[in-house]
A and B are shown apart, each in its own frame.
Chain A
Amino acid sequence: AQSVSQHNHHVILSEAASLELGCNYSYGGTVNLFWYVQYPGQHLQLLLKYFSGDPLVKGIKGFEAEFIKSKFSFNLRKPSVQWSDTAEYFCAVNARGGNKLTFGTGTQLKVEL
């Protein structure tokens, strides 16, 4: 069975600081990888996804993530965060050809002015 670990549960940054959120998954086969964001009081929105090809994927709002197969990782990065990035971030994995998303426990990001 697949599983996802997000190591940082709460992160507090100042505006303009760089962000990196860790995500590791456990699954022996080929996977699709996702980062979702949940702004306060809102539904989950897709930030970016990796299916195949270039392991560095760029998403919306300046976010990017790098798939490192050897490390089973898919870390999320942003060079300069904004106050509006305050939200909860979820990493998710889907076994290629499977039907369900397995989510990590989420990272609560707070960006201070």
Chain B
Amino acid sequence: DSGVTQTPKHLITATGQRVTLRCSPRSGDLSVYWYQQSLDQGLQFLIQYYNGEERAKGNILERFSAQQFPDLHSELNLSSLELGDSALYFCASSVESSLAGVEQFFGPGTRLTVL
């Protein structure tokens, strides 16, 4: 158990819908990272938040957004869902904003299926 929790574990929804994925980082970690793992794209970095502020952006679609709340949990919002958004979404956390000398701890993931 990494200490990072994600809910829900599984999510099945229809095209065009909107969903929210939730992540709670390890106690004491200020950074939260979101990744998407799909068969065709592999594991891709989406976005990072540090202590409530966006710090880095990766291959995140405009239909997707995220935020980190004062209690440091984070939510990833996916809207206007398409079939291709079906994937495993991982959250990771680390202590600092930069990875210099610091590792990321991954949550169990949320498997999203868009029908």
A residues touching B (Cβ–Cβ < 8 Å)?
Answer: 32, 34, 36, 42-46, 49, 51, 90, 94, 96-106
Q: Would you call A43 and B2 a contact (CB within 8 A)?
A: yes
Cβ distance B64 to chain A, nearest Cβ, rounded Å: 15
Q: How many A-B residue pairs have CB under 8 A?
A: 59
B109 — which chain A residues lie within 8 A by C-beta? 43
B103/A46 in contact, CB under 8 A:
yes
Q: How far is the CA of A103 from the CA of B41 in the complex (A)?
A: 11
Among A42, A44, A51, A99, the most chain B Cβ lie within 10 Å of the Cβ of A99
* A58 CB to nearest chain B CB (Å): 15
Closest 3 pairs between A and B when the two form their complex, measured CB to CB: A99-B56, A44-B106, A103-B43
B residues 22-57 near A (Cβ < 8 Å) are 33, 35, 42-45, 48, 55-56
29 contacts between A and B (CB under 8 A): A42-B108, A43-B2, A43-B106, A43-B108, A44-B90, A44-B106, A45-B2, A46-B103, A51-B100, A90-B43, A94-B99, A96-B100, A98-B99, A99-B48, A99-B56, A99-B99, A100-B45, A100-B48, A100-B58, A100-B99, A101-B35, A101-B45, A103-B35, A103-B42, A103-B43, A103-B45, A104-B42, A105-B42, A106-B42
